[in-house]
Amino acid sequence: MIIRIALLLMFAAFAVFLSADLLLWLAVPGLPGLMTRLGLAVLLSAFALLLITGLIVIIKLIIAANFDYFSARQRLQRRLWFIQAKQDQLNRLHYFRTLQINYFNELKRKRLLSANNRRHIHSLSKAIDKDLHSIKQQLSKTTYLQLQRENIRYRDQQDIEALLKLQQKIATIV
């Protein structure tokens, strides 16, 4: 409705400008200047009406958007989104902490297993040494030294299977 009024005012202003042109062509003194000022005033009022209407519409939209933003429904929606985001964050944090704990537990288990294996290898090597010393009189010196070197080499290599075979080999010699 307001746009129609503004358009009518613009057409009226153009009509006044045309009549001022016509009066100027007819050489009527003073009246064309007055008509030009009237046309400018009408055209200015049409543009002012459009501008004011646009500003009022924008202000109404801003106020409506603010009322909608601060409404109870929107506040509850934002609160729900916040809680969901927080819950997702906690779920991700729980998942990654679980991964981290599992990783460190596995690392600790491997370290303990390695230490346990070293301890068992050392005790097995000592038992083999004891067995070798007990049968030293029955073996030749080269065989004794070779078996002793094998024991030391397998112990340094942490090769438990080879140590077990060596122990069985010594047991069969006896």
- The pLDDT confidence band at residue 67, using thresholds 50, 70 and 90, is very high
pLDDT tens track for 122-145: 999 999 999 899 888 888 889 889
| Residues above pLDDT 70, as percent of the chain | 99
* pLDDT higher than threshold 70 for residue 79: yes
Q: Which of helix, strand or coil describes residue 30?
A: coil
Q: Above 80 in pLDDT, residue 95?
A: yes
Question: In terms of pLDDT, which residue wins out, 91 or 26?
Answer: 91
Cβ contact 138:173 at 8 Å: yes
More confident residue, 4 or 115: 115
d(CA 69, CA 63): 10
Residue range 146-171, pLDDT digits in tens: 999 999 999 999 888 998 998 998 88
Which two tokens mark 9? Answer: 């005012």
- 10: its two tokens: 């613009």
Roughly how many angstroms between the first and final C-alpha of the chain, as a whole number? 119
For 48: left if phi > 0, alpha if psi spans -120 to 50, otherwise beta; the answer is alpha
pLDDT at 148: 92
Mean pLDDT score across all residues of the chain: 89
Residue 143 CA to residue 139 CA, distance in Å, equals 6
Percent of the chain scoring above 90 in pLDDT: 54
Answer yes or no: is pLDDT of 60 > 80.
Answer: yes
Greatest mean pLDDT among 37-41, 62-66, 135-139, 165-169 lies in 62-66
Nearest-CA neighbor of 119 among 168, 165, 154, 155? 155
pLDDT reading at 174 higher than 80: no
Q: How confident is the model at residue 63 (pLDDT cuts 50, 70, 90)?
A: very high
* DSSP notation for 129-161: HHHHHHTGGGS-HHHHHHHHHHHHHHHHHT-HH
Mean pLDDT of 43-63: 90
How far apart (Å, rounded) are the C-alpha atoms in residues 170 and 174?
A: 7
Alpha carbon separation from 104 to 29, 99, 111, 112 (Å, rounded): 102, 9, 10, 12
